[in-house]
Amino acid sequence: MRPAEVVDRRIEAGISSSSAGATAARLEPVVDATATRHEAPARRLIHVGVIMDGNGRWAQRRGLPRRFGHRAGADAVRRAVENAPRLGIGTLTLYAFSCDNWRRPAPEVEALMALFEDYLARERKHALREGLRVSVIGRRDRLRPSLLDAIAKTETATAGGRSLHLRLAVDYSGRDAILAAVSRQPWGRPLDRNAFEQSLHEAIHSPVDVPELDLVIRTGGEQRLSDFLLWESAYAELYFTDRLWPDFSVADLEQAVSEFARRQRRFGGLARDDDDEDGDRVAIAARAPRRSRRARGGGS
């Protein structure tokens, strides 16, 4: 295969190209919504998860209480959300509050809950205007009624949004989600992977048609998942940056997505341009994702 063809095919498949010019802009919407599980979709929107770390340090470095860092973090959320569709992001899942974050001092927890409520109420109009769909994943039983009300109103109002699916993970734990899904399985029957995954999505209050997670970005210098989308990140690319979340700019997001576009994803198989031992072309390996049929169209 001629090198140019290799590059073209990689770009078509949304896989990677280390050649110059493979920018995020190339990650365009899926055109082949009928692809089977074993075909890489021709072009698709990507699902990005972000662990937004560093708000507290951002505030402390300025001699401010931590809650000011969270407020600045909300501005960084707005920036990311506004620019995500242009960068080929179809679904954006933001880790806003983990189940373990309840261990923080009560005033900080209170400030965060108020911030989420305020964000949901304020962004409702913007989301409707821009065609965003907003959902919240995680436990609902420990959230205060006014926040639950804001979630319900925003989810209902934006349910038809198609430009970006914004998912906020609030009181979320990847392990809890897996446990909840396991506990729904019928006793004594062998676990069926597809049924289990559907159950997992239901367990985290998420619609089933969420595409596979492609990229996890973590700001703030730590390199761990911290109980975020554990099952879903099985084949996600990981991107770590020292940038504190409130400082995370549009250029930083572009850089992360460009880096993703350069990564070569093999899902346990071989790259398209790898030859097998006999020198024959090897079909790209089964793309691992187990997504619902509806999800194969890319971003929801």
Q: Which residue number, 36 or 102, has a Cβ lying nearer to ligand FPP?
A: 102
Interface contacts to ligand FPP, rule CB under 6 A: 52-57, 70, 73-74, 77, 94, 96, 101, 112, 115-116, 119, 168, 220, 245
Q: Which residue number, 225 or 282, has a Cβ lying nearer to ligand FPP?
A: 225
Residue 198 CB, nearest distance to ligand FPP (Å)? 27
Residue 104 CB, nearest distance to ligand FPP (Å)? 8
149 carries an active-site annotation: no
DSSP-assigned states of every residue in 19-77: STT--GGG-PPPS-TT--TTS--SS--EEEEEE---HHHHHHTTT--HHHHHHHHHHHH
- To which residue do tokens 């030859």 refer? 275
171 carries an active-site annotation: no
The structure tokens listed for 273 are: 């341009």
Q: Which of 53, 171, 214, 227 is catalytic?
A: 53
Q: Which of 32, 101, 118, 273 is catalytic?
A: 101
Q: Which residue number, 114 or 128, has a Cβ lying nearer to ligand FPP?
A: 114
Q: Which residue number, 11 or 115, has a Cβ lying nearer to ligand FPP?
A: 115
Q: SS3 of 238, please?
A: strand
Who contacts 73 (Cβ-Cβ below 8 Å, separation ≥6)? 52, 55, 58, 245, 246
Residue 282 CB, nearest distance to ligand FPP (Å)? 43
Determine the distance from the C-alpha atom of residue 160 to the mean position of all C-alpha atoms in its chain, rounded to a whole number: 19
Q: Which residue number places its CB atom closest to ligand FPP?
A: 56
What stretches of 87-152 adopt beta strand conformation (E)?
Answer: 89-98, 132-137
Q: Is 16 exposed, middle or buried (0-12, 13-18, 19+ CB in 10 A)?
A: buried
Q: Which residue number, 97 or 260, has a Cβ lying nearer to ligand FPP?
A: 97
Give the amino acid at 114. Answer: A
Residue 174 CB, nearest distance to ligand FPP (Å)? 15
- What distance in Å separates the CA atoms of residue 220 and residue 51, rounded to the nearest whole number? 9
Residue 211 CB, nearest distance to ligand FPP (Å)? 21
Hey, which residues are catalytic here?
A: 53, 101
